Each structure stands twice: as C-alpha cells, then as structure tokens.
Chain A
C-alpha cells in the first residue's frame, strides 16, 4: 500500500488515510524524501486525522521523516493528531519534540508559511 503525496505549489500535502503498518510507513518515508528531492519542495504537511494509533515504531519513522526532510531543506508540520493518540504518546514517554504541529491542514499550511517567511 502506498500513501498518496499531493503537490501544491512549493508544498507537499499528505493525508494518511490507511492503517499504518510498518512497510507502508517505511515506503512512505522513502517516497516523501524522493518527492521532496524531485520537486524541490520547501514545506510538507502530514495530516494524521485518520490515524488511530501511533506506537513507538511509527513515532520513530515520523520523527525520522521530519529530521531527514529538514536536512533536505523542507520544513514539516504534522496536523490533526487525535486526542487519544496524543495522550497515548505522552503516556509512552514519546516526545515528538521540536516537531511543529497544528490542529488541521489549513492551520498547518499557515504555520508553514509563517515558518518559511519568518
């Protein structure tokens, strides 16, 4: 299974709509980095509204994606993390420190704009 990556001007938009199994998560990591490289994107919004569970493996993949994208010069904002998922991550002691987040896609795009201009 592959997660679709949409292009909008200088940005890439991703809405994760599938249950994230390990293979899908790793494939997504690779696809996103390739796409950033191809398109020369400056920003990425990953929307997690439909994701019902983030365990330590998925958290690591997401954290790595953010770090790798930053290295390539693209800022990443995560949006739509469900309350139950946020609470579980904190219980687990997993801090997605330094990862910019926003409530929804629209605010995520605003945040990117601010970060890139500011």
Chain B
C-alpha cells in the first residue's frame, strides 16, 4: 500500500491531484463508495481553501491504524498545511454559511461532519494546519 502521498497545491490542478490521490488510497484501504466520496470531498474542500486563501500549501494523505483489543482499525489521515494568512477566529469559520469569498461557507463545517476527527491549528500571520481522520468501520 502506498502509505503516504504529498500533493502540492498551488493551482486548480493541485486540487484535482489531491482528490485523486485521496480516492486511490481510500479505495486501497477498503472504504465504501460513500466513504470514498466523503473523503474525496473533504480533501477537495481543504485543498481549495489552501488555493483560495493561502495561495499555496500541501495536502498530505496517509494510511493510519489503531490497535484495539478487538483488532486493528484502519483509517485515512488528511493533513492540509499552508503558510498563508492564518485564521483569526476559528469558531467563526466553523459556522455553517460563514465565508469571506462569496462561497457557500459549507467547506470547513462540512469537512468536520464528513470525517471522524477534525483539528485546526492556526496562527494569524503564520499559517494553518488542519488534520482530519476517517476510520473504516
């Protein structure tokens, strides 16, 4: 299994490549077609935000696992990193409908609902790192 891929996002093509890399790995891990669509959509939202708000950055897609007494849980982890303007008010950007670009403002709150774990680390003026995981149940 290709354990990790890094996709540079600085053009719209980067968004498409990140989506494709995510779908391929999600398939390899054995996610259902609905989860594949959820994961691909989440990657698309994160990659587009990088392109729109930070100009460039990268999406890291990797297979992860967690060992439990009942067996091994497999998942996919998406990390979106940029050195853009950062997000000042994280609570605000997580509200449905909040947008500074005339979008639907559905991206970040949507990603949080599509995935199982979601974390934003952002410093104004320095950049943003968003980490999110989907487990294969």
Query: Which positions in A face B, CB cutoff 8 Å?
Result: 19, 21-23, 52-57, 59-60, 82-85, 87-88, 91-94
Number of interface residues of B (CB under 8 A): 25
Interface flags, B1-34, vs A, CB<8A=1, else 0: 0000000000011011001000100000000011
Interface flags, B24-65, vs A, CB<8A=1, else 0: 000000000110111011001100100000000000000000
Partner of A22 from the list B15, B37, B109 (CB cut-off 8 Å) is B15
Say yes or no: A84-B34 contact (C-beta < 8 A), given A21-B15, A59-B104. yes
Apart from the given pairs A22-B12, A60-B104, A92-B106, 20 other A-B contacts in the complex at a CB distance below 8 Å: A53-B19, A53-B41, A55-B41, A55-B44, A55-B45, A55-B107, A56-B45, A56-B107, A56-B110, A59-B104, A59-B106, A84-B36, A84-B38, A87-B38, A88-B34, A91-B38, A91-B110, A91-B113, A91-B114, A94-B104
**A residues in contact with B36, CB < 8 Å:** 84
A91 to chain B, nearest CB (A): 5
21 contacts between A and B (CB under 8 A): A19-B16, A21-B15, A22-B15, A52-B23, A52-B37, A53-B41, A55-B44, A55-B45, A56-B103, A57-B103, A59-B104, A84-B33, A84-B37, A84-B38, A88-B38, A88-B114, A91-B38, A92-B41, A92-B114, A93-B109, A93-B113
**A residues in contact with B104, CB < 8 Å:** 56, 59-60, 94
How long is the Cα–Cα vector from A94 to B113 in the complex, in angstroms?
12
**A residues in contact with B40, CB < 8 Å:** 52-53
A72 to chain B, nearest CB (A): 21
Q: Which 8 A-B pairs have the closest CB atoms?
A: A92-B110, A84-B37, A55-B44, A56-B106, A84-B34, A88-B37, A56-B104, A53-B40
B119 near A: Cβ within 8 Å? Answer: no
B117 near A: Cβ within 8 Å? Answer: no
B96 near A: Cβ within 8 Å? Answer: yes
A-B contact count, CB below 8 Å?
A: 69
**A residues in contact with B106, CB < 8 Å:** 56, 59, 92-94
Contact A83 B34 (CB under 8 A): yes
**B residues in contact with A88, CB < 8 Å:** 34, 37-38, 41, 114
How long is the Cα–Cα vector from A83 to B40 in the complex, in angstroms?
15
A89 to chain B, nearest CB (A): 9
How long is the Cα–Cα vector from A22 to B15 in the complex, in angstroms?
9
**B residues in contact with A85, CB < 8 Å:** 37
